Amino acid sequence: MDAQHPSYGTGAATVLAPDLGSRLQELVAAWRGAERGQPLDDLHRECSSAAGPGGRAILPGYLLLVEGLTAYKVRPASDAAPGRWETGTQNHECLAGLVGTLDYLAALGRQSLDRFAARFPGMSGRRLELHVALAAIQEHERTLAERLLAGLQTVPGARIYGLTALEDLPRRVPTVAVTIAGHTPRALATALGERGMFAWDGNYYALALMERLGLEASGGALRLGLAHYNTIEEVDRVVAALRELVAS
């Protein structure tokens, strides 16, 4: 199927490659394989990363697929992929931040090579460091989530929304929405903030979900988010503070 759209500044038409459907199916199949734990190395070798508007969005796609499309671009932009998918000057500061992020993750990985490197046979260098970093982060965040969920269940009147069973931890992130009977989410978040603990209240832009749960009219829920730099001691402080607030 041809999709006719005038390309900005080129006067050309956007024509989809004849084999677009089959290529997309290959791409989807590859990513589904990755979800089952299969490596993406072959896919990575064939993929090109093209920056979207502002240079922040990344569009993965096969080079042959990308090169078979006419880009919506300004005329001075290169016709070569991936540059032709830029709509203007690249977001250099964001790209620098991306490099810094990868450097940071690689550094984390180097600290945990002795524990996790064996999980990734055949890998070395920066690639191994990044895989190890994500494995270490995942393990630590699951430990934090387990501690937080167990602690919240000891707070009188607390109701946790989402998965709470230990076997379900791999299916969730360490961010928890909770309500406590007799206390508004705003009051709880304020009290935690006064104690030096950062939390959020409201709907966190998940308006439809909060409405469906019947929480929007009463202020949504308290959100407690953990990350790899948090500690077990900090989790215990939050739970202790909530228990103290409920008892007061």
For a pLDDT cut of 90, what percent of the chain falls above it?
A: 62
Q: Which band of pLDDT confidence, cut at 50, 70 and 90, is reported for residue 5?
A: very low
State the greatest distance between any 2 C-alpha atoms of the chain, in Å, as a whole number.
Answer: 70
Q: Which band of pLDDT confidence, cut at 50, 70 and 90, is reported for residue 50?
A: very low
The pTM score is: 0.71
Q: Which band of pLDDT confidence, cut at 50, 70 and 90, is reported for residue 12?
A: very low
Asked if 166 and 146 count as a contact pair (C-beta separation under 8 A), the reply is yes
Q: Which band of pLDDT confidence, cut at 50, 70 and 90, is reported for residue 91?
A: confident
Q: Which class does domain 140-247 fall in?
A: alpha beta
For a pLDDT cut of 70, what percent of the chain falls above it?
A: 71
Across 96-114, average pLDDT: 95
Give every strand in the sheet of 158-161, ordered side by side: 158-161, 175-180, 221-225, 200-202
Average pLDDT, the chain: 80
Residues 6+ apart with CB under 8 A from 233: none
H-helix or E-strand containing 200? strand 200-202
DSSP characters over 17-65? -TTHHHHHHHHHHHHHHHHTT---HHHHHHEEEEE-GGGT-EEEEEHHH
Strand partners, 50: 59
pLDDT in tens, 132-187: 999 999 999 999 999 999 999 999 999 999 999 999 999 999 999 999 999 999 99
Which residues of the chain are in CATH 3.90.1150.10 domains? 140-247
15-19, 39-43, 91-95, 142-146: least confidently modelled range: 15-19
Q: What is the pLDDT of residue 181?
A: 97
Side chain identity at residue 164, one-letter code: T
Strand partners, 178: 160, 222
Question: 180 to each of 37, 44, 209, how far by Cα in Å?
Answer: 38, 46, 18
The residue that leads in pLDDT, 48 or 131, is 131
